[in-house]
Amino acid sequence: MKLMQSWVESANSATTDFPLNNLPCGVFSINGEDPRCGMAIGDYILDLTALEAEGILQLGAAALFDVPFWNEVMEAGPAVWADLRAQVTAMLAAGASKRWIVEDHLVAMDSARLHLPLMVAEYTDFYSNRHHATNVSAILHGTKAALPPNWLHMPIAYNGRASSVVVSGSEVRRPWGQIKGAEFDAPIFAPSRRFDFELELAAVIGVASDRPVTVAEADAMIFGYVVLNDWSARDIQAWEYQPLGPFQAKATATTISPWIVMQAALEPFRTVTTAPEMALLPHLCAPGPMLYDIALQVAITPEGGAETVVSRTNYAEMSYASAQQLAHHTTGGCPMSVGDLLGSGTISGPAQDARGCLLELSWGGKEPVAIAGGARRFLEDGDTVTLRGAAQGDGFRIGFGACTGKLIAALADPYAR
């Protein structure tokens, strides 16, 4: 697939995340005004709320962009998603006749504040990358390391907290929690000392369902994808997670990229799902390529320092794709809602510098990771973590925009009022 030419010049660059081929979905505001829906194009945001209000963009009888989130568009269904892409592509394509009307509704991205692009209904986090699961097992259990027995048969998951999902750029405060060192009999209540990021991609569910769905049906329910940082307090997690799974360790914040890349924009980058090591039960088998070739990276920038990329991996390293995860999610009859967010789980590659979290990169804190001006076992106050993802086309890239978060110091006393 080739770059689609736009009259927005900055969209024709080989290095922008937002060529005309992409058209990702976001919510923005300027000058403190009410947030509005828009699509990124080069260095600009196309103001869809204004275009719809003026009747230039028409997606049916009811207004879909009069709210500051994309859930109403998602609810309108896949035919509307396709219609939206077609109309906006026509408006922005090189030589578009409507250019003179549309031009007034381009907002410079660097003048805009970006908001959460959707109301997250519920948030689920999976554990579906073989390298990550194997590394974690080895780090926690040493020579007894082995994948959990169910791991090769289903995409393991836990329910997370939708209320903790924040947009890129939000500060993240180091949490307090119960922590128990191996050398002590009882836990203490203290700020986490092993605070970590997790590099993930997450599917945004755009079609509701109240019965089990096949992998093919699940794939058609996905509106798009975001890059996601599942911040994790490893010391809190180690003490709390048996027997019911992670809870407060994952509840501080989950940061997502400001742009939802629609599934349609990723279609040219579909790639085969890794062949499972054991035959999957039929209801989890992928009927075709369900992963995408999306290059991912993590960078750490200390307070006042320079950025260091500490990991480079690819979404194609996943053992289960989002569609398989969603199909599993519905097996017990669990109703799925528009706006549900399904995190892939940490995405690691086979190489040492392709691991998707510090727990793996520093091998449980034993091997510090070099960054400009220092090293990290786990995150330090003031560190900014930046995740980036992009599918590379022929002379263009489909990106998500940076997914950043700065870790700020824990409250001195969480109960001081």
Count of helix runs (H) and strand runs (E) in the chain? 10, 27
CB neighbour class for 120 (10 Å; exposed up to 12, middle 13-18, buried from 19): buried
- Interface residues with a second copy (CB under 8 A) are 121-122, 127, 148-150, 153-154, 156-164, 173, 175-178, 180, 186-189, 211-212, 214, 233, 236, 239-249, 251-253, 278, 281-283, 328-329, 331-337, 340, 411, 414-415
**Looking at beta carbons only, is 109 or 120 nearer to a second copy?**
120
- The minimum distance between CB 207 and a second copy, in angstroms, equals 14
Q: Which residues pair with 261 in a beta bridge?
A: 225
Cβ neighbours of residue 72 closer than 8 Å, sequence gap 6 or more = 64, 65
- The minimum distance between CB 156 and a second copy, in angstroms, equals 6
Q: Which residues pair with 189 in a beta bridge?
A: 178
- The minimum distance between CB 140 and a second copy, in angstroms, equals 9
Q: Is 141 a catalytic residue?
A: no
| Residue carrying structure tokens 């969603």 | 326
**Looking at beta carbons only, is 239 or 363 nearer to a second copy?**
239
What is 357-391 written as a DSSP string?
SHHHHTTTTTSPEEETTEEESS--TT-EEEEEEEE
Residue 281 DSSP label: P
- The minimum distance between CB 287 and a second copy, in angstroms, equals 12
**Looking at beta carbons only, is 96 or 334 nearer to a second copy?**
334
Candidates 105, 115, 131, 132; catalytic one = 132
**Looking at beta carbons only, is 248 or 352 nearer to a second copy?**
248
**Looking at beta carbons only, is 313 or 325 nearer to a second copy?**
325
- Distances in Å between the Cα of 64 and the Cα atoms of 33, 75, 215, 342 are 19, 9, 29, 24
- The minimum distance between CB 205 and a second copy, in angstroms, equals 11
Cβ neighbours of residue 389 closer than 8 Å, sequence gap 6 or more = 201, 227, 257, 294, 295, 296, 297, 315, 399, 400, 403
In angstroms, rounded to a whole number, what is the distance separating the alpha carbons of residues 360 and 349?
11
The strand order across the sheet containing 113-115 reads 106-108, 44-47, 36-41, 25-29, 113-115
**Looking at beta carbons only, is 13 or 164 nearer to a second copy?**
164
Could you give the count of Cα atoms lying within 13 Å of 197 in the half-sphere of its Cβ? 33
Report the catalytic residues.
Answer: 132
